[in-house]
C-alpha cells in the first residue's frame, strides 16, 4: 500500500498538469462517482494528506482517492496510449494537453468540499507527517492520539498504522521507525507509555516525519543512517523485507510476523528491540 511519501510525489506530479486547467472530459467506472459533474470545472489544487489524494475544484466539489494496495495515478499526453487497460481505470480526467487516470483504486469519491469537516475519513485523520507546518503542537497532538484510550490496548506497531493518530505511516516506515528508536513492536501502547513516558511517542513521531521528508522527492527509499554507498542488490532499509538476514547493528537474525487486526507483517531485530 502506498505510504505518505508516495502520495506526496503523486500529488506533485499531477499538480503542474491539472491546477488551473478546466476539465474537458471526465469519466468514472460504475459503480462510482458521477464524473460528468466535473466537466467545465477548473482544478484549484491537488494535495496529499497522509495516504489520501485530494483534488479541489472551483465548483465547490472535492475528489478523494485512496489507492489501497494496487491503485495508482498516471498522467498521459493527449492521445498517448495508456500503459494499463482502460477497463482498470476508475477515473479519467482530461484537460487541455493531458489526461490524468486513476487505475485500480478501491476508493474514488466525489463530494461537496464543505462537507470535509464532517467527512468520516478526512475529519478523523491525525496530523499529516508531511505537512509544511509540523511543529510542537502537531507532535503533541499525534502523541495524544497515540496514547488515547481507543489505542491503549493496541501494539505500538498497530497504533503507528492508525491514520487517526498520525497520517502517512505505512508498513515500511512502521518497521523502520520502531527499529531506529529501539522499540519492541509488540509492546502495548499503554505499557510502553507507562514504562517510557510520552518521550518515546514523540521520538517515534519525529523519526517518522524525518524519514518521510527524506524520501518525498523520490528515488530508492532510504532509511539507514548514514545512507552510504550501496551495491545494486543491497537493501537501503534497516529491517523491512529483510527477515532471515543479519541486523546491520548487531548481527542478530531479523524476524518477521503477521499480526493484529489488519494482519500486517512487522519486521524487527529481537536484540535491538527487546521485549
Catalytic residue annotation: 2-3, 51, 264
Residue 258: CB partners within 8 Å, gap ≥ 6?
A: 264, 265, 266
Residue 69: CB partners within 8 Å, gap ≥ 6?
A: 1
Report the C-alpha gap between 163 and 149 in whole angstroms.
15
First to last CA, the chain: 28
SS3 state of residue 257: strand
| Alpha carbon 200 to chain centroid, angstroms | 22
Count CA atoms closer than 13 A to 177's CA, side-chain side: 26
Rg (CA), the chain: 20
Helix intervals (H) in 117-225: 136-146, 156-161, 171-180, 189-196, 198-215
Burial class (CB in 10 A: 0-12, 13-18, 19+), 32: middle
Phi, psi of 193 (to 5 degrees): -65, -40
Amino acid at each position: 500500500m502506498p505510504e505518505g511519501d508516495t502520495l506526496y510525489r503523486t500529488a506533485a506530479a499531477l499538480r503542474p498538469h491539472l491546477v488551473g486547467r478546466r476539465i474537458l472530459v471526465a469519466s468514472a467506472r460504475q459503480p462510482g462517482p458521477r464524473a460528468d459533474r466535473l466537466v467545465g470545472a477548473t482544478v484549484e489544487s491537488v494535495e496529499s494528506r497522509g495516504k489520501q489524494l485530494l483534488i479541489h475544484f472551483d465548483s465547490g466539489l472535492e475528489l478523494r482517492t485512496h489507492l489501497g494496495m494496487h491503485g495508482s495515478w498516471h498522467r498521459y499526453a493527449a492521445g498517448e496510449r495508456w500503459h494499463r487497460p482502460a477497463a482498470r481505470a476508475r477515473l479519467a480526467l482530461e484537460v487541455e494537453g493531458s489526461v490524468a487516470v486513476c487505475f485500480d483504486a478501491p476508493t474514488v469519491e466525489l463530494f461537496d468540499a464543505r462537507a470535509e469537516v464532517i467527512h468520516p475519513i478526512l475529519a478523523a485523520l491525525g496530523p499529516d507527517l508531511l505537512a509544511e507546518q509540523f511543529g510542537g503542537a502537531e507532535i503533541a497532538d499525534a502523541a495524544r492520539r497515540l496514547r488515547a484510550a481507543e489505542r491503549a490496548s493496541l501494539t505500538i506497531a498497530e497504533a503507528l498504522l492508525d491514520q487517526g493518530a498520525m497520517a502517512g505511516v505505512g508498513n515500511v516506515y512502521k518497521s523502520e521507525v520502531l527499529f531506529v528508536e529501539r522499540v519492541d513492536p509488540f509492546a502495548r501502547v499503554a505499557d510502553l507509555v507507562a514504562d517510557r513516558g510520552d518521550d518515546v511517542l514523540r521520538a517515534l513521531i519525529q523519526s517518522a516525519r524525518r524519514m518521510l521528508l527524506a524520501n518525498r522527492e523520490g528515488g530508492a527509499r532510504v532509511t539507514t543512517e548514514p545512507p552510504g554507498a550501496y551495491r545494486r542488490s543491497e537493501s537501503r532499509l534497516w529491517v523491512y523485507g529483510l527477515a532471515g538476514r543479519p541486523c546491520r547493528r548487531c548481527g542478530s537474525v531479523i524476524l518477521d510476523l503477521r499480526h493484529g487486526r489488519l494482519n500486517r507483517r512487522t519486521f524487527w531485530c529481537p536484540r535491538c528491540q527487546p521485549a
